Amino acid sequence: MVTKLLSFKSRSQQVAAKKRGQIEGYFGKVQAGRPKSKFKTAITLDANLPMNKKPLDTRRPIASAKGTGYINWALPENFNLLRHYVICHIRRKESAESDDENTGIVPATTTMIPRSTLNRHAKHFLQVSKEKKLPLEQVTNPMIFPKTRGGGNGLLNDNDVELLASTIIYRDEANNGMSRNEAIQLVMELSQTTDRKAAECHYDYLVRQKRLVGVKNFGRSVKAQATTSKRGQITVEQQLRWHTTVQEALDFQRRVNKPTEEYLSKEDFFFGNLDETCLMANADGTVRVIASASKKKTEKNTDDSRASITSLRIGLSSGTQGPFTFLAKGTRMERKSITRLLKEQCPPGSQVIMSPSAYMTDET
């Protein structure tokens, strides 16, 4: 027969069972969640109603973000609701302190606004009311949420936000995209603050509000393909110049090789390409940066390591595979296994060329 362990409603009951020497106190479980309060008020009952059944003046503002959401209490439509519940919270707290402790009356708290938010703003409201010598009902929005420099409610004003977005875009267009940490560090420099947590929260706020115009995903990081600074110099003008040079070479071959009809049938055997492949030594892993919305492909210069292996591959338009050439650092190739591999598994003429730095120089 299996004995069921006792389930406690609170941790204090479990501690009391341990003191009494009950074995359930050591192996029993505490029920999840906060115990339900026996005292209900009209405010809590209205708060527990479905959203479509609540009165219009007690409905909680709907956050635009997913999940728990973020509510900007500085907005006029939200500030009135905050002031109403803060005043109720202060009055209820004062009445509870004046009552006799033996009456057993527990002050009820509303579920419209978290208790921590009410306590934090209640202290602020009382401080402002005392400094301005005004009743709580006459405390205004600018008194609680004063405007910062530039007329905004955050660390950065509109000009700073535009500068932040432009910097992110220009860095990504140069294939040197900023990471999330670098963007937060830039927010700290622009706002001249040393509080990294505040800068991080403000950057998340800019992302949620979609204020980083021109930035991909409004500032959320995306995966970037690793590239090198040399590959990043391939532009439309460079490609046009390359294709023009190739076309001039084809026209010259067709003009000097006669008869033209017989040459065109074998033209593919006279047109080849040498492709240099460089295997760079770099750190493996995913690179995430904040990218520009105008670029379809996001790249970042992370493969500029000087440790590399270079190979040269030759092929013709007719489909004939040319020899492989590998560059190795040193003066002599003494590994017989590599020599045998070149003869057995590589096209004829494949070889290993030794060079001081394994680079594709003019002499190599």
- Encode pLDDT of 301-314 as tens digits: 766 555 667 788 88
> Can you tell me the mean pLDDT for 254-262?
88
Mean pLDDT of the chain: 77
Q: Which residue has the higher pLDDT, 123 or 97?
A: 123
Which band of pLDDT confidence, cut at 50, 70 and 90, is reported for residue 181?
very high
The 3-class SS string of the chain reads CCCCCCEECCHHHHHHHHHCCCCHHHHCEECCCCCCCCCCCHHHHHHCCCHHHCCHHHCCCCCCCCCCCCCCCCCHHHHHHHHHHHHHHHHHHHHHHHCCHHHCCCCCCCCCCCHHHHHHHHHHHHHHHHHHCCCHHHCCHHHHCCCCHHHCCCCCCHHHHHHHHHHHHHHHHCCECECHHHHHHHHHHHHCCCCHHHHHHHHHHHHHCCCCCCEHHHHCCEEEEEECCCHHHCCHHHHHHHHHHHHHHHHHHHHHCCCHHHHHHCHHHHCEEEEEEEEECCCCCCEEEECECCCCCCEEECCCCCCEEEEEEEEECCCCEEEEEEEEECCCCCCHHHHHHHHHHCCCCCEEEEECCCCCCCCC
Q: Which residue has the higher pLDDT, 49 or 203?
A: 203
Name which of 74-78, 128-132, 232-236 the model is least confident about. 232-236
Which band of pLDDT confidence, cut at 50, 70 and 90, is reported for residue 41?
very low
The residue whose two tokens read 């999940």 is 67
The residue whose two tokens read 């007690």 is 58
Which band of pLDDT confidence, cut at 50, 70 and 90, is reported for residue 31?
confident
> Can you tell me the mean pLDDT for 289-311?
73
pLDDT of residue 151: 38
Tell whether the model's pLDDT for residue 32 goes beyond 80: no
Tell whether the model's pLDDT for residue 79 goes beyond 90: no
Q: Which two tokens stand for residue 303?
A: 């493969």
pLDDT of residue 149: 40
Which band of pLDDT confidence, cut at 50, 70 and 90, is reported for residue 330?
confident
Name which of 8-17, 105-114, 206-215 the model is least confident about. 105-114
